Structure formats: C-alpha cells, structure tokens
C-alpha cells in the first residue's frame, strides 16, 4: 500500500531507501506554453545570468514502506518553473540535492547565494537542482549522491567521495519542492573556510562571480536568526533536526 505525501509547510521524511522512476512531462496547452515563455524571457531580461539548462522536476513522492520513498521524475528545463507565475497553470515541484556539512565541533554550514543567482542573498545549505542523466545512464541513489558531491566541490571546493555522503532526510516545502539532503563527514572549520576561499578566488580569477558570497557555521536554529537576509524554508527544520540528534 502506498501513501501519497501531502505538502504542508515544510515536512521532513526519514528515509533508508529511495526508489526512482522517470515519467513523461504533462502536456501544456498552447496558451500556457506561450505565457511560460513570456515570463521566462522577462526573467532573463531582469537577470541575464539565468540559463535554461536541463533539470529534473518531481512528478510524485510516495511512501511505499517503512522509511522507503518512491519518487517519480520528469526531464524539464529551468523555464518550466516560470509556470508558477502563470495564472491557472501548474508547475511540477522542483527537485534538488543539498548537503549538511558539519564542522568537527558540531556546527552546521550555511551558505549565502550571490546577487547574480536566482535567489540573491538567500541562506541555505550547499546544493543545487538535480540534473537529468546522460544518454545510457540512469538516475539512481548513487547518481544523486554524486550530484551532491559535485555541488560541494563546485560551490565550496570541498572534495567528498559520493560513498561518504548518506541520504539523511527528504524535505518537502515551498511550491511542494522536494529536497534530498545528504550528510557529509565532519571537517575542521579552518579546512571549510580555506576551501571556500580558494574556490571563490578561482572563480573570480576566471572572471566569474562565485555562486556563493558568504558562509557561516551555526550551532542551533536560534543562531540562524543572526544571518541577515532570506532563508530557504527547509534550513531551520534541517538544522534543528541535526543539532537535536547530536
């Protein structure tokens, strides 16, 4: 017996096994497609750094057994989410991976998105949208862990082998977006800050603005309040879950 997981605020689901299946994207009416493209073009004019790359959307999330989740997914591009601003249209929830990167003293790393991103100034966990597999490959638990490891390297310069990242919790929050949260091995604070500084300097040397402009280590949800700017909706519940379990 399966149980569809309803969106209600930010929900956190413990998981030991994640099953995945690709499904077809729901068909759009011509009017919705045209409206979506208009909204997307306006967004790109406002922020030329946006790009219409391939991503994975969540078509459904169900619990199929104790700590077992079944996730159906669809290949889309970023412009699909412009449907959220089209009256009467329905956008599929986004799917992303992120990582709880602890310091060896128990604090958790939070990162702030730079001004050129789609979420300027937002504090969140390191991570990003799930990308579809290449031809001949499949999207599975191993591939998702690899994407989470890649986000750590690209954003923070932290090298972590996929096998060291364990799927720790699944979140469902704003716009029913689904986050797959991995837990990384703890590192000394000095190593985290040095890796971030090196990665940011390398991006600037290539003439690129880093995706992240600041990092912070927090010991509890209360310390998150001191981080000025918007926060990802999942950040407080995830930090609370992690620090309560120590």
The rounded distance, in Å, linking the Cα atoms of 148 and 155 is: 11
Q: At what angle do helices 189-205 and 141-156 cross, to 10 degrees?
A: 80
Sheet holding 95-100, edge to edge: 11-14, 166-172, 178-183, 95-100, 127-129
Spatial distance between the Cα atoms of 108 and 179, rounded to a whole number of angstroms: 17
Per-residue pLDDT tens digits of the chain, which is 246 residues long: 344 444 446 899 999 999 999 999 999 999 999 999 999 999 999 988 889 999 999 999 999 999 999 999 999 999 999 999 999 999 999 999 999 999 999 999 999 999 888 889 999 999 999 999 988 788 999 999 999 999 999 999 999 999 999 999 999 998 899 999 999 999 999 999 999 999 999 999 998 889 999 999 999 999 998 999 999 999 999 999 998 876
Separation between Cα atoms, residue 139 and residue 143, nearest integer Å: 6
> Contact 19/243 with Cβ under 8 angstroms?
no
Sign of CA dihedral 220, 223, 93, 143: negative
| Pairing mode, strands 95-100 and 178-183 | parallel
CA–CA separation, 111 vs 143, rounded Å? 24
Comparing C-alpha atoms, which of 209, 203, 242, 195 is closest to residue 223? 242
DSSP SS3 for 107: coil
Q: Point out which residues pair with 18 in neighbouring strands.
A: 69
CATH number at residue 28: 3.90.79.10
pLDDT reported for residue 9: 67
Q: Domain containing 134: what range?
A: 3-244
DSSP codes joined into one string, 52-93: --EEEEEEEEEEEETTEEEEEEEEEEGGGGGGGGSTT--PPP
- Distance (Å, rounded) from C-alpha 159 to C-alpha 101? 12
Query: What angle is formed at CA 207 by the lines to CA 215 and CA 55, rounded to 5 degrees?
Result: 65
CA 159 to chain centre: 18
- Beta-carbon contacts of 47 under 8 Å, excluding residues fewer than 6 positions away, are 116, 118
CA 221 to chain CA centroid, nearest Å: 19
pTM across the whole model: 0.92
Count of the separate structural domains present in the chain: 1
Q: How far out from the chain centre does Cα 5 lie?
A: 19
Residue 246, pLDDT score? 60
Helices then strands (H, E): number in the chain?
5, 12
């Amino acid at each position: 017996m399966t149980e569809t997981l309803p969106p209600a605020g930010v929900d956190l689901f413990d998981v030991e096994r994640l099953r995945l299946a690709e499904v077809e994207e729901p068909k759009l009416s011509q009017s919705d497609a045209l409206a979506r493209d208009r909204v997307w073009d306006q967004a790109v004019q406002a922020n030329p750094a946006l790009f219409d790359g391939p991503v994975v959307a969540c078509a459904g999330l169900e619990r199929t057994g104790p700590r077992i989740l079944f996730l159906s997914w669809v290949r889309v591009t970023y412009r699909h989410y412009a449907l959220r601003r089209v009256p009467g249209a329905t956008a599929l929830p986004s799917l992303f991976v992120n990582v709880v990167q602890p310091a060896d003293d128990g604090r958790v790393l939070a990162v702030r998105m730079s001004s050129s991103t789609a979420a300027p100034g937002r504090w969140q966990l390191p991570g990003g949208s799930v990308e579809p597999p290449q031809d001949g490959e499949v999207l599975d638990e191993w591939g998702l862990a690899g994407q989470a490891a890649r986000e750590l390297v690209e954003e923070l310069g932290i090298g972590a082998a996929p096998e060291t990242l364990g799927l720790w919790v699944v979140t469902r929050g704003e716009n029913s977006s689904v986050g797959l949260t991995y837990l990384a091995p703890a590192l000394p604070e000095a190593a985290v800050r040095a890796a971030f500084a090196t990665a940011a300097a390398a991006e600037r040397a290539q003439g690129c603005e880093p995706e992240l402009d600041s990092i912070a280590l927090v010991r509890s949800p209360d310390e998150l309040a001191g981080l000025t700017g918007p926060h990802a909706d999942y950040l407080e519940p995830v930090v609370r879950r992690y620090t309560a379990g120590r």
